[in-house]
A and B are shown apart, each in its own frame.
Chain A
Amino acid sequence: MAAETADAGARPRALAARAVAGVIDQGQSLDAALAAWPSDLSGADLALARMMAYGTLRDYRRLGALLAPRLKKTPQPVLDALLRVGLFQLEATRVPAHAAVHATVAATKSLKLSKARGLVNAVLRGHQREPVRLGDEAAVGVMHSYPDWLVERIAADWGAAATEVLAAGNDRAPMHLRVNRRRTTRDAMLAEWRTADLSASPMTVCADGATLAAPVAAERLPGFAEGRVSIQDGAAQIAADLLAAHDGQRVLDACAAPGNKSAHLCERADIALTALDIDAGRLATLEATLARLGLSATTRVGDAAEPAAWWNGEPFDRILLDAPCSGTGVIRRHPDIKWLRRATDIDTAAVRQRRLLEALWPTLAHGGRLVYATCSILAAEGDDIVQDFVAATPDASALDPAPLVGQPTAFGQRIAPGAHDLDGFYYAVLVRE
């Protein structure tokens, strides 16, 4: 039997370790790290490498705590990542233990860590024989693998529900789809997927939404290329319900890229949509999305906080402000967020969110409606922003949320990650007198 057997499994482990180190050590986003993977990686190896990179980042801090007692000194970043990838397999996957150890040890070769071969082998075999177990006294941030500052903020905002919120951020996210009601119906799409042996079910909280039982790549999803369906979390689909734009209205999507919410608004009604974004490259993605779905909008590159540069003075009947945020509501889809964000980022984001709201308000027609949204679960980026704004703006008031999908807050609603199977989100609906 050939000796390189394990090398076939070494590659996905090496790539997963590199991606994890890219996030932790170089501050790369996981998406960027994955984009650097070689294009010939496919099928089972790609799935395995992704599963290990995501899983290791979800469980990163706890894995470190399991690892620490077996190490005399801090390993260099890539070795540290490989050890955690190895432990993750032993802890949380159905990869047979000896295969996990063997392939992870073999991964040292392509990572130029051959000198650490023995160490990787000893640590993983040691854990296999006699796993370190964390006692009840271990910190919440270790057990659930979050940085302490984020645990504190979530605890302050969510109280008794905080543990559930932390745990939900470590679950694997479902694949949610949005049916383009201009081209087909949800029932017709469900039937089409059934014919293709894909198991999908309608979402109760989203009129256009469906959940796919097992994820499928976009290019192999029946209806995607033909523009009958898009991939979008259900929590984001609620924006269109709350905005309730009608035929003929002038609508602004202020931070529009990559364009899923813009597209949904155009699918729902014959509106004159201006899709604005500060990033020209990401706006090109939006244009491609609209083209795929057979929709059109006026696209503008510009900073939503500086309307003088892009606004012609005609007020909008509806504005969607899906403000840039910490992304703490979508940690289950982007586990790297836990390790890339700093406590100070929240304050910086809040300053920007307040400025956006203030700058856009004058562009809203009297009697018009603005939906403020973030995929953050922190009050500092949600209700606190709206509270301050409403207090300082005489002609602004918050409507009772309808539909109410999450929990009502003083000024809007918040959706806990995992509630109704959705991403964590915040929404407020403001009207101008």
Chain B
Amino acid sequence: MAILEILHFPDPRLREVTEPITVFDEALSRFIDDMFETMYDAPGVGLAATQVGDIRRVAVMDCSEDKNERIVMCNPRILWSEDEEVVDEGCLSVPEHYDRVTRATRLAFAAQDRDGSEYEMEVEGLLAQCVQHELAHLDGGLYIDKLSRLKRERIRRKMAKNAKRQDEA
């Protein structure tokens, strides 16, 4: 297992649209394990392949308190969603920034596990928020796309400044 490098906004690779997974093999399983390790280390509650520079359509999540409820979503799609609320959100690819975005409160999604088996799941709250966040990643989207252009520009400048500071250090 290995901890992968998490790309930071505005890295163009975060804008890639992922490709459906057709082969569920040992290599995919190893990649998924690495994604979990990277996510827990960050720490995060969800991680999508685009965030580590991969274009396979897979994301991992664990929103539990005790970090023992792993969810693998290969080729996920939302079946239905309902109710909206404004929630605080942050992204491992946009470090140290949080903002309020509108998300559906409850939804159901269908996906495949690491062995290719199909499953459906109904979720709410933080988990529902996380599913929406990760699915957006798989289509090259970021939660900050939901913010105003002005705010996004401010974040871009802040990220650039941080990157520069790290290069100098």
Contacts and interface: CB of A to CB of B under 8 A. Distances in A.
Interface of A: 1-9, 44, 96, 98-99, 102-103, 117-118, 121
Contacts of B143: 1
B88 A2 contact: no
Given A1-B134, A4-B98, A99 B87 contact: yes
Interface residues of B, number: 27
If over half of B's interface residues share one DSSP class (helix, strand or loop), that class is named, otherwise mixed; here it is strand
Contacts of B90: 1-2, 4-5, 8
Interface of B: 42-47, 61, 65, 85, 87-92, 95, 98, 100, 105, 124-126, 129-130, 133-134, 143
Contacts of B91: 1-2
A238 to B, nearest CB: 42
Nearest to B87: A99
A97 to B, nearest CB: 8
Contacts of A3: 42-45
Contact of B130 (A1, A4, A8): A1
Contacts of A7: 98
Interface of A is mostly: helix
Contacts of B126: 5-6, 98, 102
30 contacts: A1-B44, A1-B61, A1-B90, A1-B91, A1-B134, A1-B143, A2-B45, A2-B89, A2-B90, A2-B98, A3-B45, A4-B43, A4-B90, A5-B87, A5-B88, A5-B98, A6-B88, A6-B126, A8-B90, A96-B105, A96-B125, A98-B125, A99-B85, A99-B87, A99-B88, A99-B125, A102-B126, A103-B88, A117-B65, A121-B65
Contacts, number: 63
A261 to B, nearest CB: 42
Contact of B45 (A1, A96, A98, A99): A1
B14 to A, nearest CB: 14
A117 B66 CA distance: 11
Contacts of A118: 65
Nearest to B59: A1
Contacts of B42: 2-3
A117 B46 CA distance: 22
Nearest to A121: B65
Contact of B133 (A1, A4, A99): A1
A338 B125 CA distance: 36
